[in-house]
C-alpha cells in the first residue's frame, strides 16, 4: 500500500470528549502519529455509556482509534517537562482546556510554546472562543445548538425546539479543526513557522445555520421550525408510505416532473400551482396532501430504488442497524473491523495515499512506557514518573 498522506506528521493530543479527539482521529486515519495525553481522571467519554466493554465505552472508541495513549498529571511541573520533550518532535498540539489553563500553568502558547517550538501548530478548541462576553465559558454540543439558534429551527412547528440527534456541532468543530490544521501546515511550508489556531463550538454552530441565516439576512423574517421540510425547496420533505417513511429531496423542476411521471400523476406537475419551485413553496400544504394520498399505498423501499435509478433524489428512512449493514455501506468500506473493535470507516477516499486503521482505541495509559522511552527517558526515569504518579496506569475517580 502507498504511504498515507500525513505520514511523518506528529501530533500531541491533549483534548478530551469529542471535537478534539475526532480531529486527531481523522489525522491519524491518514497516517499522522498521534500521542493522546489523558488527564488523571481519563477522558470523560470512557465513562459515557452503556454500552461498555473491558477497554472502555463505545462512545470513546468512536473517536479514538489510531492513537497511542499516555496518562499524565499536567498539574505537576514535571509533566510539563515531559510534554516539552514530546513537543520537540511534534508538528501539532491539540487541546481543549478552558481558556487560560495553559497560561495558568505557565506554558501558554505566546509566552512559552511559540518561543520553544517556533514550528509548532497549536490548535485550541473552545466552547465560545477567547473573546466576547461568553469567552471562557464551558461549552458542550447541546449548549452550542441552543445558544446559536440551531435548536430553534429543528423540530415540528407545533412542538418545542429539539436537539439535533447527533452531536453535530462537536463533529463539525472537529472537522473545522482538521481543515485549520492542514491550512497551517500548508502555510508553514512557506514561512517555516507554526501558529495558534482557535476553533470554537459556538462559531462552528453559527456557521451551520444555512440557509436560515442567509434567509434572515435578506428578508429579516423570523426563521421557524418546519419539521423535515426545507424552508426554500418543495417538495423536500418526509412523507409516509405503506411501509415506512420516504424522504423526497426534489431540487429542481425537472426532478419534480420526473417524480410526477413516475407516480402516474403528470397532471400535478402541469398544475399552475406547482409549475415552478416558487409556486410549489407557496402551495406546499396542498402539494403535500396530494403526495401523501398518492404514496399511502406505495412500497417506500422499492420506490426509493426506482426513483434513484431515474435520477430523482429519494431515500427511505433506515435504522442505524439497517444502515450499518446496507450493501452500499459495505461496498464503500464504511464499516471496519479489527478483532473485537468495529467502527465506521474512513469517509475521505484518496486514490494514491489512502487512509487506514492501524491501532484500536487505546486503553488508559496503555503506551506510557513506550512513549516515554521513545522520547529518550531511561527505565529509572520512567519508573520514577510512575512512582510519583506523574504518569498513571488507572484513572483516578
Q: What is the mean pLDDT of the chain?
A: 96
If you count DSSP H runs as helices and E runs as strands, how many of each does the chain have, helices first?
18, 13
Task: Encode pLDDT of 237-260 as tens digits.
Answer: 999 999 999 999 999 999 999 999
Q: What is the DSSP letter of 271?
A: S
pLDDT band per the 50, 70, 90 thresholds, residue 155 = very high
> Does residue 326 contact residue 295 with C-beta atoms inside 8 Å?
no
> Does residue 63 contact residue 28 with C-beta atoms inside 8 Å?
no
Q: Compute the average pLDDT of residues 183-201.
A: 98
pLDDT recorded at residue 56:
83
Q: Compute the average pLDDT of residues 216-226.
A: 94
Going by DSSP bridges, is the β-strand pair 52-53/56-57 parallel, antiparallel, or unpaired? antiparallel
> Does residue 20 contact residue 125 with C-beta atoms inside 8 Å?
yes
Task: Encode pLDDT of 269-282 as tens digits.
Answer: 999 999 999 999 99
Considering the chain, what percentage of its residues have pLDDT values greater than 90? 96
> Does residue 108 contact residue 33 with C-beta atoms inside 8 Å?
no
Q: Compute the average pLDDT of residues 323-340.
A: 94
Q: Compute the average pLDDT of residues 380-392.
A: 96
Q: Which residues are catalytic?
A: 170
> Does residue 262 contact residue 255 with C-beta atoms inside 8 Å?
no
Residue 95's DSSP bridge partners are 124
Whether the bond into 373 is cis, omega within 30 of 0: no
Domain 236-319: top CATH class: alpha beta
Task: Encode pLDDT of 296-326 as tens digits.
Answer: 999 999 999 999 999 999 999 999 999 999 9
Q: Compute the average pLDDT of residues 51-61.
A: 90
pLDDT recorded at residue 54:
80
Identical fold between 10-208+332-387 and 236-319: no
- Exposure b/e, 232-251, CB count within 10 A at least 16 = b: ebbbbbebebeeeebbbebe
Domain 10-208+332-387 listed as CATH 3.40.50.10540: yes
Q: Compute the average pLDDT of residues 116-141.
A: 95
Q: Compute the average pLDDT of residues 218-227.
A: 94
Position 1 pLDDT exceeds 60: no
pLDDT recorded at residue 2:
63
Distance CA 369, CA 380 (A): 11
Domain ranges (residues) in the chain = 10-208+332-387, 236-319
User: Which class for 265: exposed (0-12), middle (13-18), buried (19 or more C-beta within 10 A)?
Assistant: middle
Q: Compute the average pLDDT of residues 281-301.
A: 97
Q: What is the DSSP letter of 36?
A: E
Considering the chain, what percentage of its residues have pLDDT values greater than 70? 99
Grid coordinates in use for 160?
Answer: 418545542
> Does residue 67 contact residue 34 with C-beta atoms inside 8 Å?
yes
CA distances from 382 to 371, 373, 386 (A): 10, 8, 6
pLDDT recorded at residue 391:
97
Half-sphere exposure of 209 (CA within 13 A, CB side): 24
Distance CA 344, CA 185 (A): 27
Q: Compute the average pLDDT of residues 173-192.
A: 98
Instruction: Note the maximum CA span of the chain.
Output: 84
Q: Compute the average pLDDT of residues 172-179.
A: 98
Q: Compute the average pLDDT of residues 38-61.
A: 92
pLDDT band per the 50, 70, 90 thresholds, residue 55 = confident
> Does residue 46 contact residue 53 with C-beta atoms inside 8 Å?
no
Amino acid at each position: 500500500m502507498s504511504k498515507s498522506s500525513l505520514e511523518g506528521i506528529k501530533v500531541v493530543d491533549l483534548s478530551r470528549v469529542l471535537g478534539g479527539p475526532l480531529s486527531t482521529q481523522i489525522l491519524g486515519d491518514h497516517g499522522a502519529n498521534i500521542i493522546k495525553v489523558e488527564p488523571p481522571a481519563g477522558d470523560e467519554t470512557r465513562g459515557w455509556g452503556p454500552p461498555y466493554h473491558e477497554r472502555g465505552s463505545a462512545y470513546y472508541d468512536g473517536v479514538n482509534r489510531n492513537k497511542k495513549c499516555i496518562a499524565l498529571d499536567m498539574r505537576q511541573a514535571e509533566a510539563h517537562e515531559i510534554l516539552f520533550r514530546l513537543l520537540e518532535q511534534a508538528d501539532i498540539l491539540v487541546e481543549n482546556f478552558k481558556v487560560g489553563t495553559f497560561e495558568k500553568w505557565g506554558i501558554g502558547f505566546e509566552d512559552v510554546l511559540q518561543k520553544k517550538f517556533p514550528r509548532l501548530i497549536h490548535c485550541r478548541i473552545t466552547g465560545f472562543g477567547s473573546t466576547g462576553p461568553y469567552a471562557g465559558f464551558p461549552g458542550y454540543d447541546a449548549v452550542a445548538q441552543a445558544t446559536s439558534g440551531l435548536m430553534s429551527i429543528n423540530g415540528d412547528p407545533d412542538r418545542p425546539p429539539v436537539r439535533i440527534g447527533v452531536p453535530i456541532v462537536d463533529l463539525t468543530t472537529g472537522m473545522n479543526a482538521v481543515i485549520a490544521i492542514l491550512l497551517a501546515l500548508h502555510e508553514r511550508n512557506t514561512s517555516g513557522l507554526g501558529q495558534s489556531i482557535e476553533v470554537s463550538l459556538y462559531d462552528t454552530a453559527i456557521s451551520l445555520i444555512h440557509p436560515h441565516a442567509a434567509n434572515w439576512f435578506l428578508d429579516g423574517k423570523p426563521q421557524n421550525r418546519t419539521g423535515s421540510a426545507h424552508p426554500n425547496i418543495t417538495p423536500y420533505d418526509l412523507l409516509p408510505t405503506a411501509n415506512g417513511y420516504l424522504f423526497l429531496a426534489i431540487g429542481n423542476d425537472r426532478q419534480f416532473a420526473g417524480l410526477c411521471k413516475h407516480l402516474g400523476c403528470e397532471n400535478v406537475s402541469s398544475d399552475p400551482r406547482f409549475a415552478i419551485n416558487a409556486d410549489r413553496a407557496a402551495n406546499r400544504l396542498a402539494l403535500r396532501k396530494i403526495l401523501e394520498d398518492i404514496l399511502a399505498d406505495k412500497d417506500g423501499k422499492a420506490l426509493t430504488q426506482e426513483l434513484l435509478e431515474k435520477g430523482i433524489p429519494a431515500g427511505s428512512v433506515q435504522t442505524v442497524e439497517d444502515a450499518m449493514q446496507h450493501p452500499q455501506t459495505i461496498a464503500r468500506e464504511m464499516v471496519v473491523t479489527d478483532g473485537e473493535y468495529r467502527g465506521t470507516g474512513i469517509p475521505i477516499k484518496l486514490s494514491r495515499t489512502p487512509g487506514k486503521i492501524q491501532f484500536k482505541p487505546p486503553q488508559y495509559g496503555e503506551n506510557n512506557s513506550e512513549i516515554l522511552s521513545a522520547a529518550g527517558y531511561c527505565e529509572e526515569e520512567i519508573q520514577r514518573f510512575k512512582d510519583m504518579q506523574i504518569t498513571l496506569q488507572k484513572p483516578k475517580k
